[in-house]
Amino acid sequence: DDLVLDYTRTMMGALLLNPKPRHVLMIGLGGGSMVKYLHRHVPEADITVVEISQSVIDLRDAFHVPPDDARLHTVCADGAEFMRKPPRSYDLILVDGFTGEGIADALCTRGFYLHCRKALSAEGLLVANVQADTDQTREIGKRLFKVFEGSMISVLSDEGGNDIVTAGPRHLFEQGRADFEGHWAALSAAHQATLGVTSSRIQRALIKGFP
């Protein structure tokens, strides 16, 4: 349950702004690294994973993804359709849904982002993994900027190819910018170890804001 890939560590950077999300929604299971990390290191979180492919879910044992339990719920469904009528609000929504050609089209529309924003709690954050420096990415950035009224940051992974966009209530970004060291000190040792490499990039993004 270590986060080996930098883009997954960067997505977990949301914990700097909201360190104890109670309700987490993940769209896209993949190899399950973020699910495993959250399940172990954020024990207070109730986690729902929406994955469109049953064949991906069927591989969970091979990747040591924990079985569903009182805190972990896996749903085989289209993430965009799920967000039209989500069963509750969420403190953290992680979007990492890719096809063989790139980001699933349904997961980067203005309507999808509007549904995500409506599903966020007062302290909720949306974190989306998008491909870096493409026409599609730039269009996604514009959509997110409009839907969240500019309240967002963008952080490139150090591996290249991934741009992690975090959007949510403006006060969380302002607090993180004003007292980054305090937010860092409040993290658990496990989170500090995970975010050590990416923390400086997150801090620079908070200072810069979104262009």
What residues contact residue 60 under an 8 Å CB cut-off, 6+ apart? 29, 32, 67, 74
Mapped onto helix, strand or coil, the DSSP state of residue 165 is strand
Q: Which of 6, 91, 96, 163 is catalytic?
A: 96
Token digits of residue 115: 């549904």
Angle (CA) 46-49-51 rounded to 5° is 175
Note if 2 is an active site residue.
no
- The helix/strand/coil state of 193 is helix
Instruction: Region of 133 please: left (phi>0), alpha (psi -120 to 50) or beta.
Output: left
Torsion angle, alpha carbons of 46, 51, 57, 63, to 10 = -70
Show the CA angle centred on residue 157, arms to residues 107 and 204, nearest 5°: 105
- DSSP string of 49-61, one letter each residue: EEES-HHHHHTTT
Active-site residues: which are they?
96
